[in-house]
Amino acid sequence: MNVTLIRSSFEALRPQAPALVDRFYAILFERYPQVRPMFAHTDFPKQKQMLVQALALLVANLEQGDVLKSYLGALGAKHAGYGAQEAHYAAVGECLLAAMAEIAGPLWTDELAAEWAETYGAVVFLMQQGAAATVGA
């Protein structure tokens, strides 16, 4: 994982965070309308803020495995309670990367896409570990 590239790209996207999260949810609901009911009781301004905060925490702690394992494990357990399944993680990743590519414009390269995909894969792994620990408890 190229930590420098992930961080610099996030810093470039950060000023456009509201547009990024708006576009993410628009793409998610357009491509996967079946997930919309999972958000029926969601406070979207708060949800969007939490997504930006989660991304910022992730990027700030890329080299802090213990922090990420704890945070993402708890997040995975929480999402398991919402009914999140394996296919949802793939859908979210696809739509998040699509939104990032749109918002980043010419800054988005194949290399950057690959780095973010790898990073998202690690996030999913840790979240699913947290979800599995909850189910197994």
Q: Give the pLDDT band (50/70/90) at residue 135.
A: low
- Count structural domains, the chain: 1
Domain span at residue 113?
3-35+42-136
User: What are the tens digits of pLDDT across the range 66-82?
Assistant: 999 999 999 999 999 88
Q: Give the pLDDT band (50/70/90) at residue 33.
A: very high
Structure-token pair, residue 71: 């945070």
Q: What CATH code is carried by the domain that includes residue 92?
A: 1.10.490.10
Quick one: pLDDT at residue 134? 75
Cβ–Cβ under 8 Å, residues 111 and 5? yes
Going from the C-alpha of 127 to that of each of 16, 106, 111, the distances in angstroms are: 26, 31, 24
Mean pLDDT calculated for residue range 86-94: 95
Quick one: pLDDT at residue 133? 86
- The answer to whether residue 136 scores a pLDDT higher than 90 is no
100: nearest Cα among 12, 4, 1: 12
Mean pLDDT calculated for residue range 102-122: 97
